[in-house]
């Protein structure tokens, strides 16, 4: 599969051309097979050894690979010239307890439970504001707790670094965070840098009252605000919270608030206040299944919110934050499964994770284009691959109109429809990440034979 934009691995600056070549071949293999197992990535034993030596080479620095991954994303964003860019930033942990017997040394620290070995990844993923389609990774940080790549600054600094990294990428930038990113000083920095932010409120924040009798706590202020409307929302299942998937009606409220920092004084000058808009999205009581708690989101944003339409736009942008969750899921259990890698060196595993994250982000991006009829399929596939797909199409179309590929020929949606059929999708609903991954792996094998036959 062709990688659109500036490929990761080229132009990083390796002094040894062999390292540059190995990086390109490894990232190409990650795109074809989306696995962390070197023996499955390589065509033969010699290539497997080359990949292993590249990842364990002391001249291949983690910072170089991070630079390559983010520069590829930044270059693509800048070429697209989006007037408004969303940047979803989130953290995931790579827990390698299951393979710790294969690993020597103390390069890896502990994960969130302070026991299992692993490391942390914080990524800033760029999205287009209209459709929420991924555009690339534009900020990336890796660190350990007690290992070789410990942070010299507090972990909360990760949010501030993303804000600095994305400055100037587009005329308008909106940073989207979950509750961990609700930091008072971050609101100040975002405002100073001319960006916007949307985050889920981390706690019942203290507020600066606007007048006598005004509420001084966020929860009470939102509860006091009038209901502005309702909208339908499909709620994902969550096993940890014992939440069933369902479609519910959500009540919408919003109001302007002034946040109080811990160091606020009673007579703080109004010019120093952080004024934001608060939005509450609450599941209607009658839609909540017995034994479950209603879904409640309390969002804070620096965007203006004076109408229902503006509030719904903020909610939609916040929902796009799931794109980062999808990318992390592709990196771990659903595609690459980097946690199952048996590399002997923890540092080599971190290098593989950086390259795999870029590949997982591209895979997630491809899936999100499954109904895109405007983008040319050559953004993701070579011309020869599209010819091969066109020859395969009659094998997977049925006799009825419903069984035909409904998309314009050689649009990206048209290509994904064929790939999904190869991945045993039967046309019901929309093809997901696993189906597209299986289809691409099967297509790669078909294209190899097709290409050999056409070169005779």
* pLDDT tens sequence across 94-104: 999 888 777 76
In this predicted structure, what is the pLDDT of residue 7? 55
In this predicted structure, what is the pLDDT of residue 366? 87
Nearest to 225 by CA among 297, 280, 303: 280
- Residue 97: count of CB within 10 angstroms of its CB: 13
In this predicted structure, what is the pLDDT of residue 50? 94
Residue recorded with tokens 């771990």: 332
- Residue 423: count of CB within 10 angstroms of its CB: 20
This prediction's pTM: 0.87
| pLDDT more than 90, % of the chain | 49
8 Å CB contact between 373 and 427: no
Nearest-5° Cα angle at 351, 350 to 357: 85
Q: Give the end-to-end CA distance of the chain in Å, rounded to a whole number.
A: 22
- In degrees and rounded to multiples of 5, residue 56 shows phi and psi of -90, -5
Nearest to 147 by CA among 94, 115, 108, 97: 108
Q: Directed axis angle between helix 433-454 and helix 346-368, to 10°? A: 90
Q: Is the pLDDT of residue 30 over 90?
A: no
Bridge partners, 84 (sequence order): 172
Least confident of 8-17, 94-103, 213-222, 295-304: 8-17
Q: Which of 22-36, 74-88, 298-312 has the highest mean pLDDT?
A: 298-312
β-strands 229-235, 246-259 pairing:
antiparallel
8 Å CB contact between 173 and 139: no
- More reliable by pLDDT, 246 or 8: 246
Tens of pLDDT, residue by residue over 126-160, are 999 988 888 889 999 999 998 888 888 899 999 99
Q: Does an H or E element contain 214, and which?
A: none
Bridge partners, 234 (sequence order): 247
Q: Average the pLDDT over 288-315 and give the result.
A: 93
Given pLDDT bands bounded at 50, 70 and 90, which one contains residue 13?
low
Q: Average the pLDDT over 203-223 and give the result.
A: 88
In this predicted structure, what is the pLDDT of residue 9? 52
Q: Directed axis angle between helix 346-368 and helix 45-56, to 10°? A: 110
Given pLDDT bands bounded at 50, 70 and 90, which one contains residue 122?
very high
For each of the domains in the chain, give its residue range(s) and CATH number, in order of start.
369-454 (1.10.740.10)
β-strands 84-95, 172-177 pairing:
parallel
Mean pLDDT of the chain: 88
In this predicted structure, what is the pLDDT of residue 2? 45
In this predicted structure, what is the pLDDT of residue 8? 60
In this predicted structure, what is the pLDDT of residue 1? 52
The beta strand positions in 391-430, using DSSP E, are: none
Q: Is the pLDDT of residue 253 over 80?
A: yes
8 Å CB contact between 216 and 207: yes
- More reliable by pLDDT, 399 or 62: 62
Tens of pLDDT, residue by residue over 346-394, are 999 999 999 998 878 888 888 888 989 988 999 888 899 999 999 999 9
The beta strand positions in 50-203, using DSSP E, are: 84-95, 109-110, 117-128, 134-143, 172-177, 196-200
CA distance 219 to 180: 18
In this predicted structure, what is the pLDDT of residue 413? 95
In this predicted structure, what is the pLDDT of residue 163? 95
Instruction: Supply the DSSP string of 54-71, one letter for each residue.
Output: HHH-TTS-HHHHHHHHHH
Given pLDDT bands bounded at 50, 70 and 90, which one contains residue 342?
confident
Q: Is the pLDDT of residue 4 over 50?
A: no
In this predicted structure, what is the pLDDT of residue 271? 47
| pLDDT more than 70, % of the chain | 94
The dihedral sign for the CA sequence 182, 184, 188, 191: positive
- In degrees and rounded to multiples of 5, residue 381 shows phi and psi of -130, 150
8 Å CB contact between 282 and 225: no
Q: Average the pLDDT over 394-404 and give the result.
A: 88
Given pLDDT bands bounded at 50, 70 and 90, which one contains residue 36?
confident
8 Å CB contact between 128 and 83: no
């Amino acid at each position: 599969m062709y990688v659109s934009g500036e490929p990761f691995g080229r132009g990083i600056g390796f002094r040894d051309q062999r390292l540059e070549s190995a990086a390109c071949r490894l990232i190409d293999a990650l795109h074809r097979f989306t696995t962390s197992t070197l023996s499955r990535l390589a065509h033969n034993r010699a290539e497997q050894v080359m990949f292993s030596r590249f990842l364990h080479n002391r001249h291949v620095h983690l910072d170089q690979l991070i630079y390559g991954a983010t520069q590829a994303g930044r270059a693509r964003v800048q070429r697209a010239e989006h007037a408004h860019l969303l940047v979803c930033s989130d953290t995931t942990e790579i827990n390698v307890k299951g393979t710790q017997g294969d690993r020597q040394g103390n390069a890896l620290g502990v994960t969130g439970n302070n026991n299992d070995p692993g490391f942390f990844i914080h990524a800033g993923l760029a999205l287009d504001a209209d459709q929420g389609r991924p555009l690339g990774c534009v900020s990336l940080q890796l660190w350990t707790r007690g290992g070789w790549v410990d942070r010299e600054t507090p972990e909360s600094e990760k949010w501030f670094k993303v804000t600095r990294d994305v400055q100037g990428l587009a005329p308008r930038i909106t940073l989207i965070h979950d509750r961990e990113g609700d930091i008072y000083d971050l609101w100040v920095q975002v405002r100073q840098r001319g960006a916007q932010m949307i985050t889920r409120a981390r706690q019942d924040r203290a507020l600066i009252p606007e007048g006598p009798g005004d509420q001084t706590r966020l929860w009470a202020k939102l509860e006091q605000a009038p209901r502005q409307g309702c909208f339908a929302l499909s709620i994902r299942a969550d096993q940890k919270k014992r939440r069933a998937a369902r479609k519910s009606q959500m009540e919408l409220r919003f109001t302007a608030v002034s946040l109080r920092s811990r160091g606020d004084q009673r007579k703080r000058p109004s010019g120093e206040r952080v004024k934001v808009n608060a939005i509450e999205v609450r599941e209607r009581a009658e839609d909540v299944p017995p034994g479950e708690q209603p879904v409640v989101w309390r969002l804070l944003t620096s965007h203006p919110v004076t109408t229902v339409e503006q509030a719904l736009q903020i909610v939609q942008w916040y929902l796009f934050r799931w794109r980062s969750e999808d990318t992390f899921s592709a990196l771990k259990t659903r595609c690459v499964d980097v946690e199952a890698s048996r590399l002997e060196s923890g540092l080599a595993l971190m290098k593989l994770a950086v390259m795999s994250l870029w590949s997982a982000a591209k895979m997630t991006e491809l899936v999100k284009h499954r109904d895109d009829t405007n983008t040319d399929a050559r953004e993701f596939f070579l011309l020869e691959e599209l010819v091969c797909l066109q020859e395969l199409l009659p094998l997977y179309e049925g006799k009825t109109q419903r069984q035909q590929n409904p998309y314009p020929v050689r649009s990206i949606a048209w290509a994904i429809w064929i790939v999904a059929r190869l991945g045993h999708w039967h046309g019901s609903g929309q093809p997901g990440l696993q189906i597209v991954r299986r289809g691409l792996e099967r297509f790669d094998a078909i294209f190899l034979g097709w290409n050999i036959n056409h070169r005779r």
